[in-house]
Structure 1
Amino acid sequence: MMKVSPISRDANVMGGTPVFAGTRVPVQTFLDYLEAGDSIDEFLVGFPSVKREQVIAFLEEAKDRLVASVS
């Protein structure tokens, strides 16, 4: 079974900026929220088109890639 990425990149959506799939919300915006000390819940309130499951899947995918890169 193929895993669907929580992130999409399409030249026709936000000029190819990585966004949460099915939205126009850039992943960078989420990372900016975290960097500022905001919680996932605060981000989700501000961007209701993004689902909690997408955020968790993004974080899990990022973790897996990081772990694989240092192994």
Structure 2
Amino acid sequence: MTTYITERIAIDPDICNGKPIIRGMRITVQTVLEFLFAGTTRDELLYQYPALENEDIDACFEFTIEMMNRNYFIKDIKHVA
């Protein structure tokens, strides 16, 4: 079952191992951000992924910013030998 986090970002345990995806497609938020971080321009990315829309890229940034607004805790895991 697909759960939409925003209008464009969804999580579906049956698609891409449950990673956040764009509009139910097999394009992950991580993939989009990695391409952009590596220097791919928006235009190049939209050309490589014709189903992707400019607003999808914006949604990836918005999603990432929202994730950074959350509190995270690091658990100490004890290893049993």
Question: Percent of pairs identical after alignment?
Answer: 30
Kindly indicate whether structure 1 or structure 2 has the higher relative contact order, using CA contacts under 8 Å at least 6 residues apart. 1
Q: Secondary structure at the match of 2:43?
A: helix
The 1:8/1:37 distance shift into structure 2, 3 A limit, reads same
Q: Rg: which structure is higher?
A: 2
- What pairs up with 1:1-71 in 2 under 5 angstroms? 4-63=6-65
Q: How many residues align?
A: 67
Q: CA RMSD in A?
A: 2.3
Gaps of 5+ in 1: none
Gaps of 5+ in 2: 1-5, 72-81
Structure with higher helix content: 1
Kindly indicate whether the alpha-carbon contact (under 8 Å) linking 2:9 and 2:59 is maintained by their aligned counterparts in 1: no
Kindly indicate whether the alpha-carbon contact (under 8 Å) linking 1:10 and 1:17 is maintained by their aligned counterparts in 2: yes
Return the offset for 1:59: 2.3
TM-score, structure 1 length as denominator?
Answer: 0.70
